[in-house]
Amino acid sequence: MKKFCFWILCFFVLFGLYGCIIRGNANPAPQAISPYNGEAKYMDPDLYKENDLYTLNFNWTFPTTISTNLQYEFYYSDSSSNLVIPVKTVNSRSTSYQINLSEGKTYYWKVVALDRNTGKEYLPTAYSWKFTIEFKK
């Protein structure tokens, strides 16, 4: 009986290791591509005048092997404590969003992935990513 329990325990340990190590991260999370954390975006004076709005593309990645029925909640703010209501819900496989922002500010953003089949949320590894927009003089 002890041998049987030992082998059952070994099976569960190996199965758990397979799920976490061989198949990949057990807790996947959206990852920022652009703007990356701490990045400074510079407005080109040949394209923009001072006080113009800056068009910025946000891009992120998330493993597509998790689900084919994902939606992403996109959050941004000029305050890190104000990332509580999603600005946009992206109901597709798209992992980008475009928005116009003012120069001379620091912004914070994050993306939460939601599996529409199970309702499970996948949170970003960092609470938020920050970047600044500056006018290049």
Residue 10 has pLDDT above 50, yes or no: no
Helix (H, G, I), strand (E, B) or coil at 92: coil
pLDDT in tens, 115-130: 888 888 988 766 789 9
pLDDT in tens, 89-103: 887 678 899 999 988
pLDDT at residue 11 in the model: 47
pLDDT at residue 131 in the model: 92
Neighbours of 1 (CB within 10 A): 5
Which of the listed CATH numbers 2.60.40.10, 2.70.160.11, 3.40.1080.10, 3.30.530.20 matches domain 31-135? 2.60.40.10
Residue 4 has pLDDT above 60, yes or no: no
Cα–Cα nearest to 112, from 81, 76, 65: 76
Cis peptide before 28, with omega less than 30 degrees from 0?
A: no
Tell me, what DSSP letter sits at residue 52? P
This model's pTM is above 0.95: no
> For the chain, which residues make up each domain, given as ranges?
31-135
Containing 14, the helix (H) or strand (E) segment is helix 2-17
pLDDT in tens, 27-83: 788 889 999 999 998 888 888 877 788 889 999 988 877 777 888 999 999 998 888
pLDDT at residue 15 in the model: 46
Can you tell me which residue has the tokens 């109901």?
A: 91
Task: Report residue 92 as tokens.
Answer: 């597709």
Residue 3 has pLDDT above 80, yes or no: no
